[in-house]
Amino acid sequence: MCTKCHKIKPLDQFNRDSRRLDGRRAQCRECQNKHRVETEKDKIRKSKWKQDNPEKHKQHVRKYMKKQRENITPQYIKVLTKQTNPNFIKCYQEHIKLFRLINQLNQ
Ligand SMILES: [Zn+2]
Protein backbone atom coordinates (compact mmCIF):
# COMPACT_ATOMS: atom_id res chain seq x y z
CA MET A 1 0.00 0.00 0.00
CA CYS A 2 1.21 3.48 -0.82
CA THR A 3 1.75 5.71 2.22
CA LYS A 4 0.84 8.77 0.17
CA CYS A 5 -2.32 8.00 -1.77
CA HIS A 6 -3.28 5.05 0.47
CA LYS A 7 -4.16 2.96 -2.55
CA ILE A 8 -3.35 -0.69 -2.70
CA LYS A 9 -1.25 -1.22 -5.78
CA PRO A 10 0.69 -4.14 -7.22
CA LEU A 11 4.32 -4.41 -6.21
CA ASP A 12 5.57 -3.44 -9.67
CA GLN A 13 4.07 -0.01 -9.09
CA PHE A 14 6.66 0.57 -6.39
CA ASN A 15 10.27 1.34 -7.15
CA ARG A 16 12.89 -0.80 -5.50
CA ASP A 17 14.66 0.60 -2.47
CA SER A 18 17.37 -1.60 -1.02
CA ARG A 19 17.55 0.51 2.14
CA ARG A 20 14.08 -0.59 3.12
CA LEU A 21 13.32 -3.88 4.81
CA ASP A 22 10.73 -4.93 2.26
CA GLY A 23 12.96 -3.76 -0.58
CA ARG A 24 10.31 -1.43 -1.94
CA ARG A 25 9.49 2.22 -1.70
CA ALA A 26 6.72 3.26 0.66
CA GLN A 27 5.27 5.46 -2.07
CA CYS A 28 4.03 4.29 -5.43
CA ARG A 29 5.62 5.46 -8.67
CA GLU A 30 2.77 7.79 -9.43
CA CYS A 31 3.17 9.63 -6.11
CA GLN A 32 6.95 9.72 -6.43
CA ASN A 33 6.70 11.21 -9.89
CA LYS A 34 4.23 13.80 -8.68
CA HIS A 35 6.52 14.66 -5.81
CA ARG A 36 9.49 14.98 -8.15
CA VAL A 37 7.58 17.29 -10.47
CA GLU A 38 6.52 19.43 -7.52
CA THR A 39 10.06 19.82 -6.20
CA GLU A 40 11.29 20.69 -9.69
CA LYS A 41 8.56 23.31 -10.02
CA ASP A 42 9.47 24.65 -6.62
CA LYS A 43 13.13 24.92 -7.60
CA ILE A 44 12.24 26.80 -10.76
CA ARG A 45 9.91 29.07 -8.81
CA LYS A 46 12.65 29.86 -6.29
CA SER A 47 15.32 30.58 -8.87
CA LYS A 48 12.87 32.74 -10.80
CA TRP A 49 12.08 34.63 -7.62
CA LYS A 50 15.80 35.16 -7.12
CA GLN A 51 16.11 36.58 -10.62
CA ASP A 52 13.05 38.79 -10.29
CA ASN A 53 14.00 40.02 -6.82
CA PRO A 54 17.79 40.25 -6.64
CA GLU A 55 17.62 42.89 -3.92
CA LYS A 56 15.20 40.93 -1.81
CA HIS A 57 17.33 37.88 -2.18
CA LYS A 58 20.38 39.80 -1.04
CA GLN A 59 18.46 41.05 1.97
CA HIS A 60 17.40 37.54 2.67
CA VAL A 61 21.00 36.34 2.68
CA ARG A 62 22.07 39.24 4.88
CA LYS A 63 19.34 38.54 7.37
CA TYR A 64 20.43 34.95 7.52
CA MET A 65 24.06 35.95 7.94
CA LYS A 66 23.18 38.36 10.70
CA LYS A 67 21.34 35.63 12.53
CA GLN A 68 24.34 33.37 12.12
CA ARG A 69 26.64 36.04 13.48
CA GLU A 70 24.48 36.56 16.53
CA ASN A 71 24.86 32.90 17.27
CA ILE A 72 28.62 33.23 17.48
CA THR A 73 29.25 34.54 20.98
CA PRO A 74 32.59 34.45 22.83
CA GLN A 75 31.22 31.72 25.07
CA TYR A 76 30.21 29.74 22.07
CA ILE A 77 33.70 29.92 20.62
CA LYS A 78 35.17 29.05 24.01
CA VAL A 79 33.04 25.95 24.16
CA LEU A 80 33.98 25.08 20.62
CA THR A 81 37.71 25.40 21.17
CA LYS A 82 37.47 23.25 24.29
CA GLN A 83 36.04 20.46 22.26
CA THR A 84 38.50 17.96 20.89
CA ASN A 85 35.90 16.44 18.64
CA PRO A 86 37.07 17.07 15.06
CA ASN A 87 33.50 17.75 14.04
CA PHE A 88 33.39 20.73 16.34
CA ILE A 89 36.66 22.08 15.02
CA LYS A 90 35.34 21.66 11.50
CA CYS A 91 32.20 23.46 12.55
CA TYR A 92 34.29 26.25 14.02
CA GLN A 93 36.25 26.55 10.80
CA GLU A 94 32.99 26.77 8.93
CA HIS A 95 32.00 29.66 11.15
CA ILE A 96 35.26 31.44 10.49
CA LYS A 97 34.56 31.11 6.80
CA LEU A 98 31.10 32.48 7.41
CA PHE A 99 32.57 35.36 9.37
CA ARG A 100 34.73 36.36 6.43
CA LEU A 101 31.77 36.11 4.12
CA ILE A 102 29.73 38.36 6.38
CA ASN A 103 32.53 40.92 6.44
CA GLN A 104 32.68 40.87 2.66
CA LEU A 105 28.94 41.40 2.47
CA ASN A 106 29.06 44.32 4.85
CA GLN A 107 31.72 46.17 2.93
ZN1 LIG B 1 0.61 6.51 -4.25
Residues 61 and 102 placed together within one structural domain of the fold:
yes
CA distance 49 to 104: 24
| pLDDT (mean) for 61-65 | 81
For ligand 1, the distance from its centroid to the CA atom of residue 34, given in whole angstroms, is 9
For ligand 1, the distance from its centroid to the CA atom of residue 48, given in whole angstroms, is 30
For ligand 1, the distance from its centroid to the CA atom of residue 44, given in whole angstroms, is 24
Please tell me the least confidently modeled range out of 18-32, 34-48, 54-68, 84-98.
Answer: 84-98
For ligand 1, the distance from its centroid to the CA atom of residue 11, given in whole angstroms, is 12
Amino acid at 55: E
Residues 94 and 107 placed together within one structural domain of the fold:
yes
Residues 67 and 44 placed together within one structural domain of the fold:
no
Domain that holds residue 30: 1-52
Q: Checking phi first, is residue 6 left (phi over 0); if not, alpha (psi -120 to 50) or beta?
A: left
Residues 26 and 59 placed together within one structural domain of the fold:
no
CA distance 15 to 26: 9
pTM metric for this prediction: 0.45
For ligand 1, the distance from its centroid to the CA atom of residue 6, given in whole angstroms, is 6
Residues 45 and 60 placed together within one structural domain of the fold:
no
Number of domains in the chain: 2
Residues 39 and 87 placed together within one structural domain of the fold:
no
